[in-house]
A and B are shown apart, each in its own frame.
Chain A
Amino acid sequence: MKQWMCMNCGWVYDQAVGDPIGDIPPGTSWDDVPDDWKCPDCGALKAEFEMEEI
């Protein structure tokens, strides 16, 4: 399975979960996550994420 992963810390964006604390509701597709959203673990920007095989 491939998912978007933060390359600074390894946090994985799960569309089903979203990031409620970062105001990303469950079900939000990766494309709809705003560019200024930050990784909830390490604060890296969305641009630091890459598609990785989990």
Chain B
Amino acid sequence: MITLPKLEDLSDPTFNAFEMERMSTGRCPDPYPRIHELMQQGSVVEGVYRNQFTDVPDVQHGGLPQMMVLGYDAVLHVLTHPEIFTNREAFLPSLGVSFGESVSVMDAPDHTRYRRIFQKAFLPQVVSKWGETVVDPVVHRLMDAFIGTGKADLIEQFTHHYPFQVIYAQLELEPEQGPIFHKLAIAQLLSSIGAPQGREASIKLGNFFAELLAQRRARPGTDLVSHLATVESDGERLPDIVLISFLRQLMNAGGDTTFRGTSALLTGLLTKTDQLKAVQEDRTLIAQAIDEALRWEGPVTSTLRYASQDTEIDGVTIPKGTFINLVLASANRDPRKFENPDKFDIFRDRKHRSLAFASGPHLCIGQHLARVEMTRAMNALLDNLPNLRLDPDMPPPQMIGHILRSPEHMHVRFDG
């Protein structure tokens, strides 16, 4: 019998890593009025996106030249011109310090080479198999805790857990290791501000993943780590340093975004009961409901790029060395592309794709898995919670955050 590697907790197990997460998320209830104002100023606006909503200093990029790029066409232009707007310089001080040599911190040709290998493990036909074997058991185990009670907080009891537990299941973590894993995943973000707990968390996660990879290579299964440990493209495998960095990033890139995306989907449908009813009756609408939720309230409102040469957008000069605050949320609420952009409407014209998963070579590698997870979760909730509705005696869900957004609570009732 194989003994699975054990995760080691921080040397100070009482250290509260989650406080950092709350600080980075912010308390802004609605950044969109300000985003619309900025968009009206033009495609390129001097300044820093986060400073529009918070006084918390940016220790990674504070003091460096920054500009915001806004609106669908301008954001798409930046995303699809990686030879000008690069990732490496943009993310080296943040993701590079926290996770290491992840694909998010690479540009071509390294990115092109490794991305193609990673993507093989995340192609639709691969991740669809995990829906039944991995996602469904997690979803049903969580729902079993409240299914007979007639009411629940779907954030506290469901969405805030299931994507992370899907990752635990993929890693075959023992249940008591889950909270330690989650804490280390959050704590490693502190590396970028020089906190010793950040470095400690990165090392401990790295040791754990190195051991796990060796085990899965020796006896591969059908799980994600086995796929990544053995996947090849043109005879080349992923180096351990790149793989371990990717796995370090998994909780943040794959868990947190899916939690927030599912929460946005439920918020949209539960507050628009006619659309919830339509989805209940025709489950093929779930796919477009997911697209609309991610357009309306994309989990990540802004990302970064670096101008590697002097360039311009819509006549505005962007000097080499500028950090670009790429406001994805402005693209997804651009009235030139989406009629009544602030409205959640699963039946809207879908002529323009949302940029919630970004675009270009760094398009979200896990988008197909996220869709599988959200589809399975939505079907399970609709199948097992009849007459699902907001609890009239409790406050409605309120999206919060200026960079990462989701509600903190979602009180619902359903028939027993």
Contact = CB atoms under 8 A, between A and B. Distances in A.
Contacts of A44: 361
A43 B85 CA distance: 14
Given A10-B124, A10-B368, A12-B124, A43 B359 contact: yes
B402 interface: no
A11 to B, nearest CB: 9
Interface stretch (B20-28, B112-120, B291-299): B112-120
- B-side interface mostly: helix
A52 B115 contact: no
Task: Tell which of A9, A43, A44, A52 has the most Cβ of chain B within 10 Å.
Answer: A9
Contacts of B80: 43
Nearest to B368: A10
Nearest to B360: A43
A7 B116 contact: yes
B53 interface: no
Contacts of B125: 52-54
A25 interface: no
Interface string B115-148: 1100110111100000000000000000000000
Contacts of A42: 359-361, 363
Interface string A36-52: 00001111100010001
A9 B124 contact: no
Interface residues of A, number: 16
B353 interface: yes
Nearest to B79: A43
A5 B361 contact: no
Interface in A13-36: 21
Nearest to B122: A10
B238 to A, nearest CB: 15
A8 B124 contact: no
A36 B409 CA distance: 48
A52 B278 CA distance: 33
Interface string B36-59: 000000000000000000000000
Contacts of B353: 40-41
B359 A8 contact: no
Given A53-B125, A54-B125, A7 B363 contact: no
A10 B361 contact: no
B43 to A, nearest CB: 20
Nearest to A39: B363
Interface string B144-163: 00000000000000000000
B119 A8 contact: yes
A48 B360 CA distance: 14
Interface string B349-361: 0010100000111
A25 B15 CA distance: 57
Interface in B67-119: 80, 112, 115-116, 119
Contacts of A7: 116, 119-120, 123
Given A10-B122, A42-B359, A54-B124, 7 more contacts: A7-B123, A8-B361, A10-B119, A10-B123, A10-B367, A43-B359, A43-B360
The 6 closest A-B pairs by CB, nearest first: A42-B363, A10-B123, A9-B363, A43-B360, A10-B124, A43-B80
